[in-house]
């Protein structure tokens, strides 16, 4: 079966979710582009958008339309060539409208999972629950005579567990997009023990057509992205526990968030990132990873406690941040939750005290100013050189955090999750928008 034939009948499971809708969009565009090739005239391309909620599917169709419009506006020069034979389409506006129709026309929103029984390939972006995934994969596999291929977006469950659990005989691969899939360039590709070569080849071709940066990871729970992120969280929590000997919990959280954002020059502090992903999601990923990690406890009682207190984070459907460990107003942090007091403490009440405790710090460069800066090394080197010798609690925390982050990266290579230091850095640079990779020599 050719690449094109494989993509003639596709289903996305969990199509109305945050990840699923992005995968749906990218796949719909890829399929429509194939359908518009001169050789494919008359061939049908079907993309089932499967989810459990009709309401959410209606929302996803609106999302698709808005996104396809943006994509079409960007590539209208190329689309004019695609539609060169359509003499009735003259203005950019007409060409863009036609393209939106042609992409939307590929998509069939439905709540019926049976639609996937005719598909040749299945993208899965449902809840991070291995039993549920195995159940659905088995059901589709049993009822589908096409020997379909399964592309799972799991960020933490070993692919071999899903492969063997659902009896797929290697017709599965981990194809882990980053959030949001339409924007983030990174895809982690993970083969199960038995993943067929042709499935892997297809995955690479598909990623290339979507202009994604592929980082391969070994089939070890959490892979590279969450393998680093979850351990980063655990380290931050450990530091919070140390700091609360001398501070309130809210102050300690605020301090570590400030260290990890401003002083480590990251786009978000570690606790803000937990809120972005969702306290519940992070906690669940740890729960999934933990049974597979030997000699290491991937579990945070603090996150469990916050969950128990109803602190969840995550985002509203318009992409704005819900309150979580911190409270947000127009995207800015205004208060920090204190699980002891069970209340949000306004930043204004803790800021001065925390800053005094952290002590005088070398002035960090702004993440925004260096993330796309080719000469960022010239800024970061002297900054970390200062951090290296600066006295005070804050500088010490920054140093130790950076060292720990590097150690985690090195660990991922040593225990065989990542193929190389460079791959770890690529994941953090492209999947997490860090300005520099964790494996570096700034503090050596």
Partner 1 sequence: MKKLRRKVYFVAGYNTISMGSGRKEFHPKKERPGLEDYIREAGQGTLKMIGGAQNVDECVIGNFMASRFNRQANLAAFFPYIDEGLRYKPAIRVEGACGTGGLALMSGIKSILAETAEVVLAIGFEVQNTVKAIYCADFLAPAGWAHDRKDGHAYFFPGQFSERAGAYFEKFGREITRKGFARWYRNAIENARLCETAQEYHNTIKDLEAAAMAEPNPKVFLENLTALDCSKVSDGASAIAIMSEEGLKRCGIPVSDAVEVVGYGQVEEDITKPPPDKTALTTMKKAVSNALEFAGITIDQVSTAEIHDCFTIAGIMAVEALGLAEHGKGPEYVIAGNTARDGKFPINTTGGLIGWGHPTGGTGVHMAVTLWEQLKGKAGAAQVNIPNDRPFGLMANMGGDDKTLVAIVFKR
Q: Which residues bind partner 1 (CB under 8 A)?
A: 73, 76-77, 80, 84, 87, 90-93, 96
Task: Please say which residue, 96 or 190, places its beta carbon nearer to partner 1.
Answer: 96
- Write down the least CB distance from residue 79 to partner 1, Å: 8
Task: Please say which residue, 23 or 95, places its beta carbon nearer to partner 1.
Answer: 95
Task: Please say which residue, 91 or 197, places its beta carbon nearer to partner 1.
Answer: 91
Task: List the structure tokens of 217.
Answer: 């990871």
Residues 6+ apart with CB under 8 A from 252: 239, 240, 241, 243, 244
Task: List the structure tokens of 359.
Answer: 């002590």
- Write down the least CB distance from residue 411 to partner 1, Å: 41
In angstroms, the CA 26 to CA 203 distance is 14
Q: Alpha helix (H) ranges present in 309-345? A: none
Instruction: Give residue for tokens 């079409």.
Output: 72
Task: Please say which residue, 77 or 131, places its beta carbon nearer to partner 1.
Answer: 77
- Write down the least CB distance from residue 93 to partner 1, Å: 5
Q: How far is CA 290 from the centre of its chain?
A: 19
Instruction: Give residue for tokens 């549920």.
Output: 132
What are the backbone dihedrals phi and psi of residue 343, each rounded to the nearest 5 degrees, phi first? -155, 155
In angstroms, the CA 317 to CA 310 distance is 19
Task: Please say which residue, 97 or 138, places its beta carbon nearer to partner 1.
Answer: 97
- Write down the least CB distance from residue 326 to partner 1, Å: 28
Task: List the structure tokens of 19.
Answer: 């990840």
- Give the Å distances, CA to CA, from 7 to 69, 174, 304, 440: 22, 18, 42, 41
- Give the Å distances, CA to CA, from 373 to 184, 368, 379, 386, 391: 18, 9, 10, 20, 29
- Write down the least CB distance from residue 94 to partner 1, Å: 9
- Write down the least CB distance from residue 74 to partner 1, Å: 9
Task: Please say which residue, 78 or 167, places its beta carbon nearer to partner 1.
Answer: 78
- Write down the least CB distance from residue 80 to partner 1, Å: 6
Give strand pairing partners of 108. 48
Task: Please say which residue, 294 or 330, places its beta carbon nearer to partner 1.
Answer: 330
């Amino acid at each position: 079966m050719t690449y094109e034939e494989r993509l003639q009948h596709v289903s996305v499971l969990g199509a109305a979710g945050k990840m699923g809708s992005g995968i749906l969009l990218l796949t719909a565009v890829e399929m429509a582009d194939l359908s518009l090739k001169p050789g494919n005239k008359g061939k049908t391309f079907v993309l089932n958008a499967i989810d459990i909620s009709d309401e959410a599917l209606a929302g996803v169709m609106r999302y698709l339309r808005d996104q396809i419009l943006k994509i079409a506006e960007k590539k209208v020069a190329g689309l004019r060539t695609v539609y060169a034979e359509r003499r009735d389409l003259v203005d950019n506006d007409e060409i863009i409208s036609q393209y939106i129709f042609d992409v939307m026309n590929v998509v069939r929103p439905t709540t019926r999972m049976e639609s996937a029984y005719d598909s040749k390939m299945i993208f899965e972006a449902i809840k991070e629950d291995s039993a549920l995934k195995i159940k659905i994969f088995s059901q589709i596999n049993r009822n589908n005579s096409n020997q379909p291929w399964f592309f799972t977006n799991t960020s933490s469950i070993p692919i071999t567990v899903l492969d063997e659990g659902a009896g797929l005989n290697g017709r599965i691969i981990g194809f882990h997009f980053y959030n949001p899939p339409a924007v983030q360039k990174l895809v982690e590709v993970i083969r199960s023990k038995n993943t067929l070569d042709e499935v892997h080849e297809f995955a690479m071709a598909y990623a290339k057509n979507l202009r994604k940066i592929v980082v391969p990871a070994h089939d070890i729970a959490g892979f590279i992205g969450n393998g680093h992120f979850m351990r980063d969280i655990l380290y931050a929590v450990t530091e919070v526990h140390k700091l609360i000997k001398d501070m309130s919990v809210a102050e300690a959280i605020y301090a570590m968030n400030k260290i990890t954002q401003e002083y480590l020059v990251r786009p978000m502090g570690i606790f803000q990132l937990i809120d972005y992903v969702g306290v519940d999601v992070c906690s669940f990923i740890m729960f999934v990873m933990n049974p597979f990690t030997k000699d290491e406890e991937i579990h945070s009682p603090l996150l469990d406690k916050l969950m128990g207190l109803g602190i969840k984070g995550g985002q509203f459907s318009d992409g704005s941040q819900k309150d979580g460990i911190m409270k947000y107003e127009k995207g800015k942090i205004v208060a920090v939750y204190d699980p002891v007091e069970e209340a949000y403490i306004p930043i204004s009440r803790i800021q001065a005290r925390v800053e005094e405790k952290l002590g005088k710090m070398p002035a960090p460069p702004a993440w925004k100013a260096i993330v796309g800066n080719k000469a960022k090394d010239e800024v970061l080197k002297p900054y970390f050189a200062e951090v290296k010798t600066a006295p005070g609690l804050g500088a010490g925390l920054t140093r130790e955090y950076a060292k720990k982050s590097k150690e985690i990266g090195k660990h991922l290579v040593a225990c065989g999750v990542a193929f190389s230091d460079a791959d770890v850095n690529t994941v953090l640079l492209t999947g997490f928008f860090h300005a520099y990779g964790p494996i570096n020599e700034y503090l050596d």
